[in-house]
């Protein structure tokens, strides 16, 4: 039996609208998330970190880089005493404060209705990271824009093509879609070269439409940000497409066939 899941306009539209309302409610409730991706209490602790702690953090960063070949872009106290949260080009991880243990996983707060603390940290990282790519998206703007979603896409991805076929429906709902490049095969495959060509096209929307329709992409070259967008996606945990970032920074991950 073919149980291939299909992205539907009703499903994505409902999630976008629902998540937007929920995010507003959370903001009004005064969620304790600061723009640096940690709680207000953690941020307060971070600002009072002693010189000794700062030196220790640098040692942890150096050890992660030396041992795992991962560059740490930021480091901070995690919600769990004794664990540091480290942001790398491969995502968010945790390291014991003595640099001995490396943890991959998610932290949930049992005293706050199972709040996903890892997701909270990633949410602000996604939003701040998106700001750095302003002007480099391929945008399909709604005439009566109500919401903006950012979508990591690959021109060879079947689900991405299905989503793209419904673009006019999203726009009619007031949803503007901004594409970021995420060539699933990495930076050495033909998909990467084709996506560079799309981003370098004089008419990016037409090039994207043609590519998503299976047409041959005329080769072009320019200083596109395809590699940088791909690296950003990896750093925030994108591992498939389409990966949709909603207005509050939460994510609708890619759907796999079953």
Active site residues: 154, 157, 160, 184
Candidates 66, 50, 251; CA nearest to 152 is: 251
Q: What is the strand order of the sheet 83-88 is part of?
A: 72-77, 83-88, 91-96, 102-103
Handedness of CA 247, 253, 257, 258 (dihedral sign): negative
User: Is the four-CA dihedral 4, 10, 13, 14 of positive or negative sign?
Assistant: negative
CA 249 → CA 20, 123, 173, 236, distances in Å?
Answer: 10, 5, 20, 11
> Under DSSP, is residue 61 helix (H, G, I), strand (E, B) or coil?
helix
CA angle at residue 58 from 77 to 91, to 5 degrees?
60
């Amino acid at each position: 039996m073919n149980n291939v899941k299909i992205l539907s306009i009703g499903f994505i539209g409902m999630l976008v609208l629902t998540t937007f309302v929920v995010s507003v409610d959370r903001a009004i409730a005064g969620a304790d998330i600061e723009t640096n991706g940690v709680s207000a209490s953690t941020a307060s602790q971070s600002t009072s970190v002693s010189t000794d702690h700062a030196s220790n953090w640098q040692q942890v960063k150096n050890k992660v880089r030396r041992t795992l070949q991962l560059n740490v872009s930021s480091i901070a106290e995690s919600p769990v005493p004794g664990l540091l949260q480290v942001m790398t080009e491969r995502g968010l991880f945790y390291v014991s404060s003595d640099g001995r243990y490396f943890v991959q996983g998610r932290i949930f707060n049992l005293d706050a209705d199972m709040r996903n603390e890892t997701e909270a940290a990633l949410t602000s990282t996604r939003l701040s990271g998106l700001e750095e790519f302003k002007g480099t998206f391929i945008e399909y703007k709604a005439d009566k824009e109500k919401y903006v979603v950012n979508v990591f896409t690959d021109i060879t991805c079947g689900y991405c093509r299905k989503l793209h076929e419904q673009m006019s429906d999203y726009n009619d709902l007031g949803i503007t879609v901004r594409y970021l490049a995420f060539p699933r095969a990495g930076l050495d495959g033909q998909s990467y070269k084709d996506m560079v060509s799309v981003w370098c096209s004089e008419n990016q929307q037409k090039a994207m439409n043609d590519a998503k329709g299976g047409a041959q992409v005329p080769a072009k070259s320019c200083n596109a940000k395809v590699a940088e967008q791909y690296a950003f996606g990896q750093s925030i945990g994108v591992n498939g497409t389409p990966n949709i970032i909603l207005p509050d920074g939460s994510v609708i991950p890619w759907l796999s066939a079953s």
